[in-house]
Every structure is written in C-alpha cells, then in structure tokens.
Chains A and B, each alone.
Chain A
C-alpha cells in the first residue's frame, strides 16, 4: 500500500512538471534514481539520422514469414493488463490459438467486480492482481488506454520477471512519454488496426484483421522481439489479413497525424460546415443531416475500392472538375494547418499539451466533447428521406472535395516529414472509410466515442483551427456543390480540362502506393 501512495505523489509531481516546463528536466532527474523511470520525449532524444530511419520503417510482410505459427509463445505465460474491448477480444483469440492467457487488474477492479473483472472471469479466464500474476508472466500485454500507460507500466515493471517481454498496442507511451523500460525486458508492439469486436469476429470466421507490429530496438536484449511479435500476430489471426512491420516511432507519428487531420478532424469540420451551409441555403434539415451522416461512408467506400481516383470517377464530368477545383483551393488554404499538426506531432508539442490536459482532469477534452454534442448537425436527426447511393456523390461534391484534399494533404505532409509512403497511406486513405462508418452509425458522438482519447483530442484541435480557416472559402459555396447538385444546364466540359484533371488525379503519389497496397491486401483477403 505504501508503494501505491508513493507512486501517486510522484505522479502528481510529474504532472506539475508539465505546467512548469522549466522544472521538468530537473524533477525528472530527481525522480529517475528513485526507481520510477521517466524521461522526456524519446523521439527527441534521437539524432536526426535515427529519427529518419525509424520514421521510414514500414513493410508489408509476406505470408511465408509466419510459418512458425505461435510456437515462439507456446507454453509461455501471457498476462493481459486491462480487459476492455481490445484486451478481452485479443485474449479470446490468443487462448483459442492454444496460448496460455490470464488477466491482471488492479485490486480495486477485482474487489468491486467492475466490468473488466466480469469480462475476464465470465469468459473463464484466471484473473489476479498485479502482484499475483505479473511475476509469473513471460509476456505482459499492456492493453489499457494511452493515458493509463505511465502509471500502469510504472506499477508492473518492478514486478516483471527477468528477461520477460512487455507488449504494447500503441507506441505513445514509449515514444511521446519516453517511458524507460528495464534493460532486460523485451518491448514489442502488436496493434490490430480494427476495433476489438472486429478482432474477435474476424478470427472466429477463420480470418483476422490487418495488424501492425514493431520491436523497440532499445529493448530487444535477447533478439527475439520480432519472433514474439510475429507469434502474437498469428495468435490473434492478424497474419491472415496482412501484417505491417513498422517501428514504434513510425506508428505513433503517422497514427497521430492521420487521426487528427483527415480521419477525424476533417470529417468533423466538414460535417459542421456542410450542414450549416445547407441550412443557411434552405435545404431541408433532415435531408442535410442524412446527406452528411451517411454521405461520408458512401463516398469513402468508393475510396476504399479505388482510391481518390475512383471516388472522383463516381461524379459526372462537370461535377468531377468542380470537386477537383474545390479541393485544390482547399489544399492551398489548409496546407499550413496540416504542416502545423505534423510539426507539433514530430517535435512533441502535441503530446505535451495533451498530457497537460490529462493532468488537468481532461478539462479541455470534456469541454470540447460537450461542445460537439451541442452543434446543429449533431442535434438534427437524419430525415426519413430516400437518398440513392449515387445521390450522395452528386449532392455531396464539396464533401468529395474535402475528403480528397484531406487525404492528399495528410499523405503529402506525412511523406514530407519522412514517414514512408506505405505508413502514410494506411494512416490516411486506408482508414478514412473506417472512421466514416462510425459517423454513419451515430454521427460525431459515435466517432469520438470509438476513437481513442488521443485521437479525439487531436480532432478537436484540428476542428478549432480549421473552422475559421475555411470561413472565407465557405462564403462562396452554394447548394450546387452541397445539398442539391449541379443544375442540368452545366453539363458541358472542356476536353482539355477534363484530361488535365484526370491526369492530375491519377498521378498523385497516394494513388500509386494505394494501388500496390490494395493489391497486397486483396491477395490476402481475396477469396480465391
């Protein structure tokens, strides 16, 4: 118990340190010798050469790299921390793959029989406290939310046995918080790129979900980190759907960038602007609400199949040229914002400000969440009107333009920052339909509830900056591009212009890498 109290007080000290930057380094220096290994931003400690090398890591692995199956983990004791959706469903898969899985929860969660305790025990898993289970573990799977990582890892690390492995499903703690892990421990990351429920559902069907793996090179003393990560990916079924070999740094920096700009931020800002514009121009509110709520999903479905090119090909020729012109204009206006997000992510400004909010009881996050709930779009129920699949494109030209601008900007910014095209593709274009799907389910509320708090925080930052940025642009927008579609008398196009637009669409670098990677994924998924 004394141990617990001590940890709390030190954690508070650290939080205070965020407020008082000038003392940060000093306090951390004081803290580290006491056995609570904290440091500042790991990425920033690396020389540029290594930063670039780490950012550029991302490789689609071949099926024959997984022939060893789960052997590297066979007979090893796997202890999962946290039993939420990821924790439970990954555990069910790993156990069904013949691995030894149990759950460790904080004493209070066990005593109060919280949901996490019920999740684990009703599924027939052994559940125990950190003290009971961590010392027995060969591999500890940290599947708690980002903001719990520091306290959780700090608490379990002293209990871990010599030479064990610590696994993450997101690299934030290592990269942004600079968690220093004991030298004898192996540190890996296995991150299924889908919600927990899907991780389970796909496994049960005999398939899996695309998964990203990485080994933290500072912590691979026995050189078996990759073998463990591969076996773990096989245990969850991920190898059947495709595995990306990446680095902690590339995962964090690209994940943060994608989620706060195109994936969540652009869709939130786009939703609010498009809705208000339609209302302003007298479009029926129920129709406007439905067009946006389901429109993102419908148009990005085309993106999923054939990239930006295919999404624009779904439009008539005049509408395509219109969408292209709008998106070019949007890219010019928004590029500084995308650059700022990427810069803040790379240099650690973003994570620092967000962690300050964590330390401040999430006051910003919760306030912004409430604010989103009060927007006109969020409060207007989708009308009971029929909108055909094609109409979502025809009446949503501006939405198509926003998705195109967002995807291309995010991709361009990421690759300019040294992130390899493969990563940039996955974290921009590839995931857009997944997020659009959450909006279709329950609007922005559902999107922000599904994504991590980290993504949500970044999304609000983007939204706040982007809304005023697009103010002037929106003044010239009318219902021909959002809500009603082009009138039939603007049917003509100039041949030369059309050829130019088509050429520009098809030659964007996100289209080339997209075609290659979609090919890989199709090979994996393809029902032959």
Chain B
C-alpha cells in the first residue's frame, strides 16, 4: 500500500503540491485527472520519487517503477543529446541505437520482444534513438516501462502521440498487465479512460481535490462535467437571431432604483436605497439573511408587488406606466434556489433551456428548430450532450442548477441575476457553477449580479460591490 500523508512537494520550476493525502491500495488502478497545470503529472512524479518534500511523508513507494511520461521521454532524449554534445572527438556520433536503449539489464527480453513485434518496431531497432519520431520514441519508452516487471506502472498521457492502431494495441496489452501490476494513469480526457481504472483523483491548483470511486456513477458524472468545463475552451452558444430582444439605449443605465423603500405591516425591509447598474458592469450583492437581497432583486425582476409603489427604471421602462412584466423579464436571466424549487415541471432538459427564451417555468410555446439547436449546444457545453430528452426532475440537484444557469443565459440577456447560485451545492457542483460564471463574466457582454452571503467570497471579473445591512429605520 502506498501512502502520501499531508504531503507538500516542490519541483524545479517552483511548482508546489500541497496537502496531498492519498492512499493507493492493492488491486486499485488510479486515474489522475484535472485541467492543465493542475498538478496531475507532478503527483505522478512524486510516486516516481521526484520533487523535494517540504512537509508530510510518504510510505510504501515501490522501488521498481515503470514510468511513461512526456518528462520521462524528454529526459531520455536530453540524455542522448548530451552524449552528442559531450563527444569531443571529431567524429559524428550516431547516438545510441534503440536496441541498446530497450534491452538493458532490468528488462525482460521476452516481454520486450513480444511488444516490439506487436508494435511492428523491428525496423527501428538499429536506428539511433534520438533520430526517432515522437510517436516512435514514445513506443520505445512504453516498451521499456512495460517490460521491466515494475511494481507500479505510471502512465502519464500514455496515448499521446500514438496512432490509433498503437492506441488499441496498448489498451489490449494494459488489460493483461493490470492483472498483476497496479497502474496509475494520468489523462486529461475522460473519454480515453480504460475499463480497468477503479479510482479517480482530481487535481486542481496543486491540490488533490476529489477522490472518486469509478462505481459511484453520480460522482463520476459530475467529475466528468467539471473536467469538461475546466478543459474545454468554452464557447457560449450564440443567441437566437430570429427572436432578438429589442435593443436598449447604451447611454442609459440598465437599472436605476431611486429612494427604494420596501415595507411590510410591521417592518421596514429596505429604506431609501439607491442603486444604478450601468451596461457591462458586474456587481456582487451581499448581506446577512433578511437584509433584503432577494426583495431588492425582485423589484428589478418585477416579482415584488411593491415595484409599483417605488421609483424604478428598468431597461428603458419607468415602472407602473402600462408595461407588462414580460417586457421587463425579456432583458433578465435569473437563477436562484427559489426558482429551482418552483421549477417542478415534468419536462425535458432541452425544454428547460428553451423556456429561457420565453421566461417561463415549463414551455408553453412552440419552439423553433434554431432554439432547439441552441439548447443542444448548451447541453454539450455543460457536458450533457445527447441528454436533451431526459426528464429534468430526474437530474441531480447540481445538474438542475447548471441547467437553470444555461436557461438564464440562453437568450444572452443584458442582465444576469445569480441569487446565491451555489447554495446547497456540494464542492464539485459549486466549482462547476463558479467555472461557468467566470466564463460568463469574462465574456463581458452580459452584466452580472452575483448574490452571496459573504462579501469576501469574490469572483474573478466582478468589481462592483453592494453590501446590505439589516434595516431598522422607518420609511
């Protein structure tokens, strides 16, 4: 059993792994995954004994490790190049032939020859290793690692640079190897995960954030989406050009609330509040429970009955002059826990997204093919491709939230209101939602109001803050 206990490790480039607690038991085959720069390869390298331990300890690391990685490959090539440089004789070095690179003392010749045969590599055995193509040298490294009777195989992106025939060959071979050798694999794409992987470690910012059993299908699916959002170059699907929201005057604020006062029989919730939201501003709204955050937002969305007794200018309308709430709502995308509670309709994932075009809960209008297409693009972006016909109410809580964010975004509203979008979500889902919000803020075509209890809980791309306090005054 290999154990990493509270480990902090530093690498040459100053990259650090922190707070690593990990245990690999016999018969487990792990996948390490995460976005680029998350520390996947570093964690694998720790198992191979690399890095300077700053804190914590390791136990049970095997001595004989078969290691395939870009780094291992580079290291070997570097060594070869050095030999060349070191050659002070005035003769051209031919470099070490592949045969010598493969058949070293610790190699099981029979296994190695079998693999050379399978990969059809006989023709390169006498060539100089440093003259090989990337794919060829990767195969050489693979053969070495697979033929050394390792106690642990570390395969860091082993399929990189392999053609499809070689890819399949390797998959088949690994299926045998895992019968007697534990494998730790590094991949940044889930769709290449071999069957035999039993556990998944998810790295982010140098920390081991999630450990998930393959058989836990729910957690596995969420991890898949998280990785998808983190690793895909997110292209927010375009708006429906056939149904354009009437344009707003860019010189006017999106929202201008003047001397707002909300009172109930026995209390004053908000008193004399002024707030103006200009186009392309992103705001964070914070305040304790009961400070009136949601009430304030519902004045903007038109859901508060007292929006007719306050001075409210929204999207070109001074409220209370014959406009309908649907004329207001067309400019707003809205997500909250309350919306999720209210969204209890037996409808499909695709229709939930399309309902964002109509600001309705459920879909009551005939949708166009274009709208269906856009909805499917959003589903793909959320890592739920081909699930458009599944029922919304069967989704996990976190997936429902993601879908409602897509519903809010689908029409590219000038204002997106996210009222505590992470409330009630577990860590993976919270990160999923935040990843999506950051992408949206970065695009800068929608103004975002992000509501959160904690003023310090900040999101990249948000630079205006409104903090409410509990009011005790009278209007």
Docked Cα-Cα span, A70 to B364, in Å, equals 19
Contact B361 A205 (CB under 8 A): yes
A525 at the interface (CB under 8 A from B): yes
A132 at the interface (CB under 8 A from B): no
Which residues does chain A contribute within 8 Å of B264, judged by CB atoms?
122
Instruction: Report which of A98, A123, A205 forms a contact with B305, defined as CB distance below 8 A.
Output: A123
Contact B302 A96 (CB under 8 A): yes
Contact B361 A527 (CB under 8 A): no
Instruction: Report which of B323, B342, B360, B366 forms a contact with A207, defined as CB distance below 8 A.
Output: B360
Which residues does chain A contribute within 8 Å of B303, judged by CB atoms?
204
Docked Cα-Cα span, A122 to B342, in Å, equals 23
List the A residue with the shortest CB-CB distance to B329. A206
Contact residues of A between 83 and 136, Cβ < 8 Å to B: 92, 95-100, 118, 122-125
Instruction: Report which of B306, B308, B322, B358 forms a contact with A206, defined as CB distance below 8 A.
Output: B358
Docked Cα-Cα span, A204 to B329, in Å, equals 11
Which residues does chain A contribute within 8 Å of B365, judged by CB atoms?
528
Contact B323 A206 (CB under 8 A): no
Known: A118-B265, A122-B264. A527 touches B305 (CB 8 A): no
Closest Cβ–Cβ distance, residue A332 to chain B (whole Å): 41
Contact B325 A96 (CB under 8 A): yes
Which residues does chain A contribute within 8 Å of B326, judged by CB atoms?
206
A395 at the interface (CB under 8 A from B): no
Contact A97 B324 (CB under 8 A): yes
Docked Cα-Cα span, A92 to B345, in Å, equals 23
A75 at the interface (CB under 8 A from B): yes
Contact B362 A207 (CB under 8 A): yes
B367 at the interface (CB under 8 A from A): yes
Instruction: Report which of A75, A122, A206 forms a contact with B362, defined as CB distance below 8 A.
Output: A206
List the A residue with the shortest CB-CB distance to B346. A527
A253 at the interface (CB under 8 A from B): no
Instruction: Give the A-B contact count at a CB cut-off of 8 A.
Output: 60
Q: How many of chain B's residues have a CB under 8 angstroms from any CB in A?
A: 31
Contact B345 A527 (CB under 8 A): yes
Closest Cβ–Cβ distance, residue B368 to chain A (whole Å): 10
Binary flags per residue of B295-306, CB closer than 8 Å to A gives 1, else 0:
000000011011
Known: A207-B360, A527-B347. A122 touches B265 (CB 8 A): yes
A240 at the interface (CB under 8 A from B): yes
A464 at the interface (CB under 8 A from B): no
Instruction: Report which of A97, A240, A528 forms a contact with B366, defined as CB distance below 8 A.
Output: A528
Per DSSP, chain B at the interface is loop
Contact A124 B306 (CB under 8 A): yes
Which residues does chain A contribute within 8 Å of B362, judged by CB atoms?
205-207, 527
Instruction: Report which of B265, B309, B360 forms a contact with A205, defined as CB distance below 8 A.
Output: B360
Which residues does chain B contribute within 8 Å of A99, judged by CB atoms?
322
Binary flags per residue of B337-358, CB closer than 8 Å to A gives 1, else 0:
0000010010110010001001
Closest Cβ–Cβ distance, residue A119 to chain B (whole Å): 10
Which residues does chain B contribute within 8 Å of A95, judged by CB atoms?
308
Closest Cβ–Cβ distance, residue B356 to chain A (whole Å): 11
Which residues does chain A contribute within 8 Å of B361, judged by CB atoms?
204-206
List the B residue with the shortest CB-CB distance to A205. B361
Which residues does chain B contribute within 8 Å of A125, judged by CB atoms?
308
Docked Cα-Cα span, A70 to B305, in Å, equals 20
Contact A74 B322 (CB under 8 A): yes
Docked Cα-Cα span, A178 to B442, in Å, equals 68
Docked Cα-Cα span, A74 to B321, in Å, equals 10
B359 at the interface (CB under 8 A from A): yes
Binary flags per residue of B361-395, CB closer than 8 Å to A gives 1, else 0:
11111110000000000000000000000000000
Docked Cα-Cα span, A139 to B220, in Å, equals 60
Closest Cβ–Cβ distance, residue A83 to chain B (whole Å): 13
Which residues does chain A contribute within 8 Å of B355, judged by CB atoms?
206
List the A residue with the shortest CB-CB distance to B323. A98
Name 17 interchain pairs, CB-CB below 8 A, sorted by A. Answer: A92-B305, A124-B307, A124-B308, A204-B303, A205-B342, A205-B345, A205-B362, A206-B361, A207-B362, A207-B364, A240-B364, A527-B351, A527-B362, A527-B363, A527-B364, A528-B366, A528-B367
Known: A97-B324, A207-B362. 4 other contacts (CB 8 A): A124-B305, A204-B361, A206-B359, A527-B347
Instruction: Identify the 6 closest CB pairs spanning chains A and B, nearest first.
Output: A206-B360, A123-B305, A205-B361, A98-B324, A124-B309, A96-B325
